[in-house]
Structure 1
Amino acid sequence: MRDLDERTITDEVLRALSNTSDIRTRKVSEALVRHLHDFIREIEPTQQEWEAGINFLTRTGQMCSDVRQEFILLSDALGVSMLVDAINHRKPGGATETTVFGPFFVEARPQFALGANISEGVAGVPLFVSGRVRDIDGNLVPRAVVDAWHSDDEGFYDVQQGSDLKMRGRFTADEDGRFWFWSVRPKFYPIPNDGPVGEMLAAQGRHPFRPEHVHFMIAAPGHETLVTHIFIEGDPYLDSDVVFGVKTSLVTQYEVCEPGIAPDGTTMDGQYLALNYDFVLSPEMSS
């Protein structure tokens, strides 16, 4: 292990990994070393640049908290999250496409009855959300569990403001796979850009915005859990989503509804929007 140079050091590090007992750990470690060493040889960083890189990663970790995950933002903004998602969700034809989970999901989301308003006390344009859950053969999936969450009309999630949980909830679809609830229209928004990831985007000449969307997670026995977004046609950031999460099949339009009786029987005194989208679940993959 003496007198190693910029070419021979890679093979020596790989030899040092040869006793790794777990096959997967060894494969991952070897690939990491090979690609990382090739990366360094390609860019030939100065000592100051390498120290700046170490500092960037250190500050990224220091920004993480129970309400913010800067490393997820970094993964998202580099397109890695969507790449991992694509690799792990090679779905059959006809199934609803997936997209990134995002950093604003919380485990302690409230359970609501169908038709509930998940945005009580939140200002914004009323939004009626509905849809059905089916399998890839077109059969309705009864009593699927539907989670939904989104930003407010200024682009903020509840957890960013330290408030009670709003604009998120869990529903159980009915026997015909139908679900519906009320909320307010979300808005396009910037990912948190006051930390290292924001500095990176600025250095790369990129904006930090995500287009308007509603998150969904839908689960049912015998089916693969679906994590996706629904985007809105006409959003200014549809073709430049900072996390590369937009897919054409997930883009739809609002229906502008006039005052009167809403689809669930609610009397609406003013204009409101309706978002309807049917989801198709993939069969659960056998292990």
Structure 2
Amino acid sequence: MSSPDLVARLRAAGCVFAEEEAEILTSSATSPAQLEDLLARRVAGEPLEYVVGWVAFDGGRVAVDPGVFVPRQRTTYLVELAAPLVAAGDTVLDLCCGSGALGLALARRVPGLSVHASDIDPVAVACAARNLAPVGGSAVVGDLAAALPPALRGTAAVILANVPYVPSSAVALMPPESREHEPRGTVDGGPDGLDLLRRVAAVAAGWLRPGGVLLSEVSREQAPAAVHALANAGLTATTHHDEERETTAVSGARPPTRD
């Protein structure tokens, strides 16, 4: 199959970045027959990341299995915010980890971190465990931090929590690729989108070391309520915004221990 034909079929299926997708599909296929199979899955509406089995994220590849939340490019902002806060030997927790993309990307930026991930979905955890193994990280099945080793309590320099934050009423407005292929629980954040963030905030202080920081992505409109939730949990809350990626994050720091 020629590249123009491939691009044309992708464009006809509504793929906005048809040229880039054609290159990815071609490089991922080992034969013309496999390329046709991959193309058919993509044209049928399956997310490209599921079709090829990976996503480019923060300069590296992250394996993504069908049914696992696909990391969004804007979420690399959390990694950029976290990197200056950690050093080799520090403990990092990746809660609601999905594929483990955040913990993996941070460990690639700052080698020597001790990364521990957790997710309630066994399929996601199996994917995250494979992704984190090369950087010495681990992943467990559990609700937020409940299944993590108790010895980690009070030791985390950073907690990354890419929690679902789409309000329930807005899930139906999401692109079909997400609505039809990603589990609803990976995007639905409850009535105002902040149900999971409030739960994470409530447990974060017990797992952060003094001065440690929780980082999570929210919408710009949710930021004031998110900051309020972190402050209510005893964290020093700050809003961060990246104009270029139109991305907003909130951070909550555990107050330093006073002498």
Would you call these one fold, judging by a TM-score over 0.5?
A: no
Q: Of the two, which has the highest radius of gyration?
A: 1
Q: TM-score, normalised by structure 2?
A: 0.28
The structure that is helix-richer by fraction is 2
Higher RCO structure (Cα 8 Å, ≥6 apart): 1
